[in-house]
Amino acid sequence: MEDDALIAQAQAWLAEDPDPDTREELARLIDDGNHAELTARFAGTLQFGTAGLRGELGAGPLRMNRSVVIRAAAGLAAHLKKQGHDNGLVVIGYDARHKSHTFAEDTAAVMTGAGLRAAVLPRPLPTPVLAFAIRHLGAVAGVEVTASHNPPRDNGYKVYLGDGSQIVPPADAEIAAEIDAVASLTTVPRPTTGWDTLDDTVLDAYLARTDAVLSKGSPRTARTVYTAMHGVGKDVLLAAFARAGFPTPDLVTEQADPDPDFPTVAFPNPEEPGAMDLAFAKARETNPDLVIANDPDADRCAAAVKDGGDWRMLRGDEVGALLAAHLVRRGATGTFAESIVSSSLLGRIAEKAGLPYEETLTGFKWIARVDGLRYGYEEALGYCVDPDGVRDKDGITAALLLTELASGLKAENRTLLDLLDDLAVEHGLHATDQLSVRVKDLSLIAAAMRRLREQPPTGLAGLRITRTEDLTEGTDRLPPTDGLRYTLDGARVVVRPSGTEPKLKCYLEVVIPVAAKADLPEARTRATALLTAIKRDLSEAAGI
């Protein structure tokens, strides 16, 4: 873009910007003639997709800011009105990140100005409370202002429709078109009053619903250490645990309260190296039965157990299988579902129990839409254990159910690891791992996907690839998505760009038959070697 055109575009944006913080930031960039930074912010617009919006805070159309949020809210409002929801209710939640409350109030103002009704949750609360509130209140849509487990500089805008699940095509494209049609912020009415700020009645109803995930009279003795990862989960989780009658969790106090700067972690994601270090230190002090972690908006649940002499994180696939086995043992009926990047063990468990099983594209926006869903999970620490209450992943109810399972096993003098061993003997050892590459230049991800398509590998780790699927073409069960799936002799690999972060993600699984528990150590050694070799060969094939 030519300098004059770039400056003119930035000045036009500045003239409409309602936020003094980003106005000051943008004015400084213009005054300094910082062409490179202005180009980075004005070379396009933050794209609204099936994950809504997510990006770095800052001025300009390629950043998260009030101008972008107001346009997004206006587009959503226009879409809802075209769907006939002229006086419909939109409920809005938010986390504790920088600008989250402001973005929530801007959204409420836009909805009110458009003739819709708006209600804002009373304070920063877990995302599953918002997902619950949509159906509980009979809303036509919901918005959650959150960037989940992204770095502190980010924020985001997640949109749900009236069924309580996140948007999927074609609604995302229709809303995006309405956003693009907003010519100027001056055309968007934004009254200063007229919406409701809810009290704790909705939260109380959510907490009452959490009781439903547990079995009456089940053991409630497992002791836990809990970290909220500087997010909004602590108060709601403690209230849910108290209602259930579990021992009060020992808190990781350094991470217990909301802090948008996430000072103790590089990335506020329990999966990231080092994020659980303080929780493990607390566990070494208190020797609990289980460590529980939520991500900052508390829709994900991580767990760690004592393995030998120290603590280790359970993989999302391990927790997914444990919760499935627990539900089967309790006599659950309905469909078990997971995304294509999660372990195939869930399908084996469902088949053995005579339960329906479905595989979906990545994300709970797809899992939550499975007909007759009883339980759904995704390897990235997301679990839906009460789909009638929350049609999304829910880190609070998942923590309750997992602690109930640990309590029942404790009463039998067993652990979660013992149950994982049983599942491996019954269904084969399903070992999973991930190759995840974070980039600054998104073109590197596109180049890796192109290389894999143009020069597809014929084998990985000495295992022959028996089937290659380019998921952009869709399958008889799945709509199109940008991804590749390889089926190997005794293994499976899925490669896809992340939908929420600048990452290429490769999901690996090997399955090793196990005749008896005594064979497990050798099977695990073999599985680890295979996963390491697959990662090496896949990295070379993708050029990453």
Tell me the pLDDT tens digit for each residue of 101-129.
999 999 999 999 999 999 999 999 999 99
Coil, strand or helix: which one is 43? Answer: coil
Of the candidates 73, 72, 230, 200, which has an alpha carbon nearest to the alpha carbon of residue 129? 200
Q: Which helix (H) or strand (E) holds 466?
A: strand 463-470
Distance CA 359, CA 352 (A): 17
Q: pLDDT tier at 404 (50, 70, 90 boundaries)?
A: very high
Among 306, 315, 311, CA closest to 377 = 315
Q: Which of 67, 100, 148, 344 is catalytic?
A: 148
pLDDT digits (tens, 9 = 90+) for 165-197: 999 989 999 999 999 999 999 999 999 999 999
227's enclosing H/E stretch is: strand 224-227
Rounded to the nearest 5°, which phi and psi values hold at 31?
-65, -35
**Residue 498 a catalytic site member:** no
Using the predicted structure, report yes or no on whether residue 17 has a pLDDT greater than 80.
Answer: yes
Q: Residue 292: exposed, middle, or buried by beta-carbon count in 10 A (0-12, 13-18, 19+)?
A: buried
| CA–CA dist 315, 341 (Å, integer) | 13
Mean pLDDT, range 340-355, rounded to an integer: 97
pLDDT per residue as tens digits for the range 53-94: 999 999 999 999 999 999 999 999 999 999 999 999 999 999
Helices (H) and strands (E) counted in the chain, each on its own, are 17, 21
Please say if the pLDDT value at position 473 is more than 90.
no
- Geometric angle at alpha carbon 152, from 150 and 155, rounded to 5°: 65
What's the pLDDT at 4? 86
d(CA 436, CA 104): 32
pLDDT at 161 over 90: yes
For residue 1, the model assigns a pLDDT of: 59
DSSP-derived secondary structure letter, 221: -
Q: Supply the pLDDT for residue 3.
A: 82
Mean pLDDT on 410-438: 96
State residue 476's pLDDT score. Answer: 83
Q: How confident is the model at residue 48 (pLDDT cuts 50, 70, 90)?
A: confident
Can you give the pTM of this predicted structure? 0.95
pLDDT score, position 437: 87
CB contact at 8 A, 140 and 89? yes
Q: How confident is the model at residue 378 (pLDDT cuts 50, 70, 90)?
A: very high
Contact 143, 90 (CB under 8 A): yes
Using the structure block, give the residue that is written with the tokens 């009658």.
245
The half-sphere exposure of 436 on its side-chain side, counting CA atoms within 13 A, is 13
Per-residue confidence (pLDDT) for residue 27, from 0 to 100 = 97
Sequence-separated contacts (24+) of 315-319 with Cβ below 8 Å: 315/379, 315/432, 316/271, 316/342, 316/377, 316/378, 316/379, 316/380, 316/381, 316/382, 317/342, 317/343, 317/345, 317/379, 317/430, 317/432, 317/509, 318/420, 319/377, 319/381, 319/383, 319/398, 319/402
